[in-house]
Protein backbone atom coordinates (compact mmCIF):
# COMPACT_ATOMS: atom_id res chain seq x y z
CA UNK A 1 0.00 0.00 0.00
CA UNK A 2 1.35 3.41 -0.93
CA UNK A 3 1.21 6.17 1.62
CA UNK A 4 0.37 9.57 0.20
CA UNK A 5 2.59 12.26 1.70
CA UNK A 6 0.84 15.58 2.14
CA UNK A 7 2.04 18.93 3.41
CA UNK A 8 -0.30 18.62 6.40
CA UNK A 9 1.13 15.21 7.32
CA UNK A 10 4.68 16.56 7.01
CA UNK A 11 3.84 19.46 9.33
CA UNK A 12 2.31 17.02 11.80
CA UNK A 13 5.49 14.92 11.78
CA UNK A 14 7.65 18.01 12.36
CA UNK A 15 5.35 19.10 15.18
CA UNK A 16 5.53 15.69 16.89
CA UNK A 17 9.33 15.69 16.59
CA UNK A 18 9.57 19.12 18.22
CA UNK A 19 7.04 18.17 20.94
CA UNK A 20 9.34 15.39 22.12
CA UNK A 21 11.64 18.11 23.43
CA UNK A 22 9.34 21.10 24.10
CA UNK A 23 7.27 20.64 27.27
CA UNK A 24 5.29 23.27 29.14
CA UNK A 25 5.68 23.32 32.92
CA UNK A 26 3.84 25.39 35.54
CA UNK A 27 6.90 27.67 35.82
CA UNK A 28 7.40 27.93 32.06
CA UNK A 29 4.30 26.96 30.05
CA UNK A 30 4.26 26.31 26.31
CA UNK A 31 3.09 28.98 23.83
CA UNK A 32 1.54 26.94 21.02
CA UNK A 33 0.71 28.44 17.61
CA UNK A 34 -1.72 27.09 15.02
CA UNK A 35 -2.32 28.84 11.74
CA UNK A 36 -4.95 27.93 9.23
CA UNK A 37 -5.26 29.37 5.77
CA UNK A 38 -7.24 32.38 7.01
CA UNK A 39 -6.83 32.56 10.80
CA UNK A 40 -4.26 32.24 13.56
CA UNK A 41 -4.68 30.83 17.05
CA UNK A 42 -2.34 30.83 20.04
CA UNK A 43 -2.53 29.21 23.47
CA UNK A 44 -0.37 29.05 26.55
CA UNK A 45 -0.54 25.51 27.89
CA UNK A 46 0.65 23.78 31.08
CA UNK A 47 1.38 20.26 29.79
CA UNK A 48 1.83 18.73 33.24
CA UNK A 49 -1.71 19.69 34.29
CA UNK A 50 -3.07 19.36 30.74
CA UNK A 51 -4.72 22.79 30.90
CA UNK A 52 -4.89 25.81 28.66
CA UNK A 53 -3.99 28.85 30.77
CA UNK A 54 -4.48 31.64 28.21
CA UNK A 55 -5.77 31.65 24.64
CA UNK A 56 -6.27 34.19 21.85
CA UNK A 57 -7.26 34.10 18.20
CA UNK A 58 -8.25 36.49 15.45
CA UNK A 59 -11.85 35.25 15.61
CA UNK A 60 -12.68 36.88 18.96
CA UNK A 61 -15.34 39.59 18.92
CA UNK A 62 -13.28 42.27 20.74
CA UNK A 63 -10.32 41.50 18.49
CA UNK A 64 -12.32 42.04 15.28
CA UNK A 65 -12.91 45.70 16.17
CA UNK A 66 -9.13 46.29 16.34
CA UNK A 67 -8.66 44.70 12.93
CA UNK A 68 -11.35 46.69 11.08
CA UNK A 69 -9.83 48.61 8.22
CA UNK A 70 -6.87 46.24 7.85
CA UNK A 71 -8.73 43.58 5.87
CA UNK A 72 -8.79 44.26 2.13
CA UNK A 73 -12.01 43.97 0.17
CA UNK A 74 -12.50 40.64 -1.55
CA UNK A 75 -12.11 40.80 -5.33
CA UNK A 76 -15.21 40.12 -7.40
CA UNK A 77 -15.68 36.65 -8.79
CA UNK A 78 -13.96 36.29 -12.13
CA UNK A 79 -11.87 39.44 -11.62
CA UNK A 80 -8.15 39.23 -12.24
CA UNK A 81 -5.98 38.68 -9.16
CA UNK A 82 -3.57 41.57 -9.68
CA UNK A 83 -2.61 43.17 -6.38
CA UNK A 84 -5.01 41.31 -4.08
CA UNK A 85 -2.46 38.79 -2.80
CA UNK A 86 -0.03 41.29 -1.31
CA UNK A 87 -2.44 43.31 0.89
CA UNK A 88 -4.17 40.13 2.10
CA UNK A 89 -0.84 38.75 3.28
CA UNK A 90 -0.09 42.01 5.06
CA UNK A 91 -3.47 41.94 6.79
CA UNK A 92 -2.86 38.37 8.01
CA UNK A 93 0.54 39.39 9.36
CA UNK A 94 -0.99 42.38 11.14
CA UNK A 95 -3.67 40.12 12.62
CA UNK A 96 -1.01 37.69 13.85
CA UNK A 97 0.86 40.55 15.52
CA UNK A 98 -2.31 41.71 17.27
CA UNK A 99 -3.05 38.16 18.45
CA UNK A 100 0.48 37.86 19.86
CA UNK A 101 0.16 41.14 21.73
CA UNK A 102 -3.29 40.24 23.07
CA UNK A 103 -2.09 36.82 24.25
CA UNK A 104 0.96 38.31 25.98
CA UNK A 105 -1.12 40.95 27.77
CA UNK A 106 -3.51 38.28 29.04
CA UNK A 107 -0.58 36.11 30.16
CA UNK A 108 1.14 38.94 32.03
CA UNK A 109 -2.17 39.71 33.79
CA UNK A 110 -2.25 36.10 35.00
CA UNK A 111 1.38 36.27 36.17
CA UNK A 112 2.98 34.36 33.30
CA UNK A 113 6.20 36.01 32.13
CA UNK A 114 8.34 33.16 30.73
CA UNK A 115 7.16 30.63 28.14
CA UNK A 116 8.57 28.00 25.80
CA UNK A 117 7.72 28.74 22.16
CA UNK A 118 6.16 25.90 20.14
CA UNK A 119 5.89 26.93 16.49
CA UNK A 120 3.66 23.96 15.72
CA UNK A 121 5.76 22.54 12.90
CA UNK A 122 5.57 25.77 10.89
CA UNK A 123 8.63 27.68 9.69
CA UNK A 124 9.58 30.62 11.90
CA UNK A 125 8.74 33.38 9.46
CA UNK A 126 5.73 35.38 8.31
CA UNK A 127 2.70 35.15 10.58
CA UNK A 128 4.36 32.88 13.15
CA UNK A 129 7.28 35.28 13.52
CA UNK A 130 4.95 38.31 13.70
CA UNK A 131 3.01 36.66 16.53
CA UNK A 132 6.22 35.79 18.41
CA UNK A 133 7.72 39.27 18.00
CA UNK A 134 4.52 40.95 19.21
CA UNK A 135 4.37 38.63 22.24
CA UNK A 136 7.96 39.50 23.11
CA UNK A 137 7.28 43.23 22.80
CA UNK A 138 4.25 42.90 25.09
CA UNK A 139 6.32 41.33 27.86
CA UNK A 140 6.70 37.57 27.36
CA UNK A 141 10.18 36.07 27.50
CA UNK A 142 11.19 33.07 25.38
Residue 83 predicted with pLDDT over 80: no
Q: 111 near 24, Cβ under 8 Å?
A: no
Residue 2 CA to chain centroid, in angstroms? 33
Lowest mean pLDDT among 67-71, 76-80, 101-105: 76-80
| Structure confidence at residue 73 as a pLDDT band (50, 70, 90) | very low
The topology under which CATH files domain 22-72+82-137 is: Nucleotidyltransferase; domain 5 (3.30.420)
- Distance (Å) of CA 9 to CA 3, 6, 39: 11, 5, 19
Q: Please state, in angstroms and rounded to a whole number, the distance separating the CA atoms of residues 67 and 12.
A: 30
Task: Enumerate the domain spans of the chain.
Answer: 22-72+82-137
Q: Quote the percentage of the chain above a pLDDT of 70.
A: 82
The pTM for the full model equals 0.81
Q: What is the mean pLDDT of the chain?
A: 86
Beta bridge partners of 117: 31
Q: Please state, in angstroms and rounded to a whole number, the distance separating the CA atoms of residues 123 and 63.
A: 25
Mean pLDDT of 75-88: 51
Residue 84 predicted with pLDDT over 50: no
- Distance (Å) of CA 28 to CA 18, 113, 114, 115, 116: 17, 8, 5, 5, 6
- List, for residues 3-37, the tens digit of each pLDDT value: 778 999 999 999 999 989 999 999 999 999 999 99
Amino acid sequence: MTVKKTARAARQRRHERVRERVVGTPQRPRLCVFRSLNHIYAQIIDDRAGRTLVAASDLEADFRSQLDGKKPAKPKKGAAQTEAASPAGKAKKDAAGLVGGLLARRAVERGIKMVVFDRGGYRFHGRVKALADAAREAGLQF
